[in-house]
Amino acid sequence: MASKASGGSTRNGRDSHSKRLGVKRYGGQFVRAGNVLVRQRGTRIYPGRNVGMGSDFTLFALKDGFVHFERRRNKKWVSVLTPEEWEALHNGKGS
């Protein structure tokens, strides 16, 4: 009989729990103040207008409005636009 566990089985079986990171509210979605927009490690996405950042880099809405993602200066930014700003932005583009 074997006196040890078979081939490497004692070195397996470890894994960390998933951290559920990523974008939680997408562009065009209506959000309320306090809603989490993005959970991230480090600043992959930067906070724009009406968006706050927590100590763990979580981005959250500071006001009610619509989520708007944009790319500026080679960085991604997320903002929360009021309904008036949202209308002006989209009517100005003719869409």
* Residue 10 CA, distance from chain mean position: 37
For residues 60-82, average pLDDT: 97
Q: What is the pTM of this model?
A: 0.83
* Residue 87 CA, distance from chain mean position: 24
* Residue 71 CA, distance from chain mean position: 15
Query: Which pLDDT band holds residue 7 (cuts at 50, 70, 90)?
Result: low
Q: What is the per-residue DSSP string for 36-65? A: EEEE-SSSSEEE-TTEEE-TT--EEESSSE
Q: Domain 21-92 maps to which CATH number in 2.40.50.100, 3.40.50.300, 2.40.160.100, 3.30.70.1150?
A: 2.40.50.100
Domain-by-domain residue ranges, the chain? 21-92
Using an 8 Å Cβ cutoff, are 39 and 22 in contact?
A: yes
